Amino acid sequence: MISQAVVPLIFLLLLYAVKRYTACRQLVRTVNGWPGFRTVFNDRFLFFPFRVRGISPGAQWPFYSKHADFAKAGWDVIALVNALPSPELSLYVADAAIAKEVMGARARFPKPTDVYELLATFGTNILVTEGEEWKRQRKIAAPAFSERNNKLVWDESLRVVNDMFANVWGDKDVVELDHVLDITIPITLMVIGAASFGRRMSWKEDGAMPIGHSLTFKDALLEVSNRLVLSLLFPQWFLRLGTPGMRSYARAYDELSRYLDEMVQERRTSANNEERYDLFSSLLEANEGQLDGDTKLSDKALLGNVFLFLVAGHDTTSHTLAYALIFLALYQEEQDKFYENIMAVMPKDRALKYEDMGSFSYSLAVFNETLRHFPPVIGIPKYSAEDTVLTTTNAAGEQARLPVPRGTYITISASALHHNPRYWDDPDAFKPERFLGNYPRDAFVPFSAGPRGCVGRGFAETEAVAVLTAIVSRYKVEVREEARFAGETFAQRRARLLKSQHSLTVYPERAPLVFRRR
């Protein structure tokens, strides 16, 4: 009886497998057998974080492989065909010309907005929309990132770092950290609080809470930004009933929502006509100034965009600053060049000024070189809205035309593009000076590019230059020595300190550093 029941089941499974195999073979034929991966699951199937031949290329494979898989394929485009959860063709790109074409043609290659669902937690925003809705939101959001806001970012960055020097590090000549994120996370959080929300925070807050709140704005902001992924995994009602960690996050989420709602109402009803240059005030002012009711954003869309600025600005910049300080600790000669540039622009007896920012060339070069190694977004997702053809060129100068069927997922692999030896000399090395002159701009995409390039690029660059310059002008950054790693080589030390984990962006797992007063 059992065997008779099993036979039809086996037959159905075989039939299912044959159909999937046939569909995958057809996808391979549509791209003329283009080299790449042929696997059961795609790289978004997180149960296979590492590569298993024929099963999965591994989640986040471009981050770990960088350009190696493209070099092995012989082309700067790789075709991934997978059978489950449904037969699918994806292209991964490390060709600068194709990247420019794809990111520059928004209508032909729109963004698959579903992959950004998590960042719509507090409401729709310019990142999770396309078409006319995206145009409407960008028209209102982009002007908030003004020169006046950049100056506010600069001033607040210096205020926060100097507050750390005075009230946390004090008169210590040597400051040891268990992990560099212990300073970069709160620094960026406090800068974002002031420059995005108009709410100043300090290292020595007394923890007083406004009436009607059970958490301070700072604590709610930190909790939500650090554990935002929970909103993607679970509904809010489930989080409120879950583990202590889930309940803590749900409480912070509710508190932050209440704070943001209160801020909207307070700014609208305030009789104070003082000019404010924080992103929230600028966005609200631009929205209120729209005469066309169809152009105005709803309160939820307003909050969605402000929340996006929070997450994008806090998460990405805090991690990039951490990697930059690690690189400077590892490469002392580069740190010396950086310090010499600072002293040439700003003698020790003069304060940092926003007007001098353009002269701190090495600071921006350090930031850009760090972004080249660790772009906040490993892959920039697009899809083809029509049947088209892409032309790619390999290292030997040979050209090939690749058919791209409508609906094909296309990912610009920032990690591979940033490590492609066709564009970057000695790509694995840390060489900030490569950004002091002409560099291959089409092969550098940490902020994406084209019409959908990041509107907050100036914000991030201003904050990074201010923070890095302020720290390196006062302290020499070194790797903290630990007895258990006494015999390691430089390569081993670099690999250990730069070992990374993944959340919304990549971040260093553990990097103990020492800051020694100059």
Structure-token pair, residue 352? 């940092």
Bridge partner residues of 78 (DSSP): 92
Structure-token pair, residue 384? 């083809």
Distance of alpha carbon 245 from alpha carbon 256, whole angstroms = 16
24 carries a ligand binding annotation: no
> Residue type at 412?
I
Per DSSP (E only), the strands in 56-100 are: 77-84, 88-93
In what side-by-side order are the strands of the sheet with 88-93?
36-41, 77-84, 88-93, 409-413, 379-383
Burial of 266 (0-12, 13-18, 19+ CB in 10 A): exposed
> Residue type at 356?
D
Structure-token pair, residue 514? 């020492």
Tell me the backbone φ, ψ of residue 449, rounded to 5 degrees: -165, 175
| Size of the chain, expressed as the number of residues it contains | 518
On whether the CB atoms of residues 36 and 82 are closer than 8 A, the answer is: no
Structure-token pair, residue 315? 């998460």
Distance of alpha carbon 140 from alpha carbon 136, whole angstroms = 7
What is the residue-wise DSSP string for 177-200? Answer: ES-THHHHHHHHHHHHHHHHHS--
Given its phi and psi angles, is residue 453 left (phi above 0), alpha (psi -120 to 50 degrees) or beta? Answer: beta
Residues 6+ apart with CB under 8 A from 6: none
What is the residue-wise DSSP string for 249-294? Answer: HHHHHHHHHHHHHHHHHHHHH--------SHHHHHHHHHHT--STT
Query: Which residue has tokens 């396309």?
Result: 130
Per DSSP (E only), the strands in 348-440 are: 379-383, 388-393, 399-404, 409-413
On whether the CB atoms of residues 215 and 251 are closer than 8 A, the answer is: yes
Q: How far is CA 60 from the centre of its chain?
A: 14
> Residue type at 354?
Y
Distance of alpha carbon 43 from alpha carbon 92, whole angstroms = 11
Q: How many CB atoms lie within 10 A of CB 460?
A: 23
- Binding site for heme: which residues? 454
Enumerate the known binding-site residues. Answer: 454
